[in-house]
Structure 1
Amino acid sequence: MKKVLLPVFYLPPISWFSVFLREDSEIVFEQFESFPKQTYRNRTTIYGANGRLSLIIPMNHNGKRTMHEIEVSHRDNWLNIHWKSIKIAYQGSPYFEFYEDKLREIFTFQTNSLLEFNLNALRILQKILKTEKPYTLNKEYFKIPSEENYRESFSAKKESEFDTAEYYQTFSDKYGFLPDLSIVDLICNKGPEALTYLKNIQTK
């Protein structure tokens, strides 16, 4: 069983979940890295009516830079805005109604910690996917970790390194297939088939 080091993301992209759920791996989450800007740690990408839509969790700039110390800002009512954006984007998808109540739970969780928020969201997403993949949190930061390192493998700015097969998306008639969006996109469009889809993803 090989150990895999993963960053902790907000409603992670499909590719992240494909690595997280690998049966031959033991997952360790990175909580001591210096927080990098413009990554999936505090943003997710969904398929909106006008194409790709980024939902970004605002940060509370308190001078702390380590992932487990990062605080979210509650000034902009982002929980409500993000939930409404997801609902508008996916209410016409095949499975949104089926999972709506569970997905809404993600946005009722109150915490100042970005790490706690992301981990709670992951707990709910695992329930939806009917998987109980265990994980641990690392105890300190290593520039060159002993685990297989995925800290920089998922970029919000570059094309995905993972080969994700096309599936029906709510607005694909308008803009075509958009690969490697948030796991929410896969769940709402593929439903119970999402887990099988994730296990078949390969790197390019």
Structure 2
Amino acid sequence: MTKIIAADLHYFPNLEFFAAIAGADELIFFPEDRYQRQSYFNRTQIRLANNVGTLSVPIQGRRPRIPLHKIKVSNDQNWVNIHLRGIQSAYGKAPFFEYYFPYFQKVFEQKTENLWDLNLQMLTICLKLLGMPVKMRVHEKDQDPTWGKDIRGLLMPSVPFSERDYYQPEPYFQLFGLDFDPNLSILDLLFCEGPASKSIVLKSVKKH
């Protein structure tokens, strides 16, 4: 039986997201869903030398509750260079940085206007590098609901992952410090562990 999951589209999703969708055959995303403040739609966390830092994509306007696919990136704030430098500073010495970074750099340099399109492109690359053959579909207004599991609105920064049933930290090699920082952006895992990333994601699926 095909496993279909309805999910939110995040900016470089964290490990909890990938644990939550592990085993899915297809993901459905909903461009007509409304923008929520304090969500992962425009932010992700990476590990820096002295702390965990947040990368946020600036958004145009006052951001009322409009459909996600209408959210425009504010490209006049030079955020692309800030994010590129941040990622290079955090992971430039990681074992698999030189292999994977060009994929993301290419998309960054396109300066995509819609955050929805940017997130979709980045997630496509992440799934490919992970070796997770998950189909992705964008839900259209008039389509019948055809999914089995709906995790939209459940993975929020305001609630610790430990209070949800998707992710249990599986430690892996990280560049800085002795203590393991769990549930960072998928970038952290990909740059540090490369081809081993998929198995680490699968081991981090919370057992019930």
> TM-score scaled to structure 2, two decimals?
0.86
Match in the other structure for 1:169? 174
CA RMSD across the alignment = 2.3
Q: Residues 55-94 of structure 1: matches in 2 within 5 Å?
A: 55-61=55-61, 65-94=66-95
Identical-residue share of aligned pairs (%):
28
Q: Which amino acid aligns with 1:182?
A: S
Structure 1: gaps (5+ residues):
none
Q: Do the aligned partners of 1:11 and 1:44 also contact (CA within 8 Å) in 2?
A: yes
Summarize the Cα distance change of 1:20–1:146 in structure 2 as closer, same or farther, 3 Å threshold.
closer
2:28 and 2:54 mapped to 1: Cα distance? 26
Summarize the Cα distance change of 1:130–1:202 in structure 2 as closer, same or farther, 3 Å threshold.
closer
Q: Residues 1-12 of structure 1: matches in 2 within 5 Å?
A: 1-12=2-13
Match in the other structure for 2:99? 98
Q: Which runs of 4+ in 1 moved over 3 A?
A: 144-147
Alpha-carbon shift at residue 146 of structure 1 (Å) = 5.9
Q: Do the aligned partners of 1:40 and 1:156 also contact (CA within 8 Å) in 2?
A: yes
1:127 and 1:139 mapped to 2: Cα distance? 24
1:104 and 1:26 mapped to 2: Cα distance? 26
Summarize the Cα distance change of 1:202–1:126 in structure 2 as closer, same or farther, 3 Å threshold.
closer
More strand by share: 1
Q: Do the aligned partners of 2:35 and 2:65 also contact (CA within 8 Å) in 1?
A: no
> TM-score scaled to structure 1, two decimals?
0.88
Does residue 200 of the first structure (1) align with residue 203 of the second (2)?
A: yes
1:190 and 1:71 mapped to 2: Cα distance? 33
Q: Do the aligned partners of 2:20 and 2:205 also contact (CA within 8 Å) in 1?
A: no
- 1:185 aligned to 184, 188, 197, which one? 188
Q: Secondary structure at the match of 2:76?
A: coil
Alpha-carbon shift at residue 60 of structure 1 (Å) = 0.7
Alpha-carbon shift at residue 95 of structure 1 (Å) = 1.6
2:31 and 2:46 mapped to 1: Cα distance? 25
Match in the other structure for 1:138? 139
Alpha-carbon shift at residue 18 of structure 1 (Å) = 2.5
Q: Which amino acid aligns with 1:31?
A: P
Count matched residues: 200
Range that drifts further, 28-37 or 57-66: 57-66
Match in the other structure for 1:107? 108
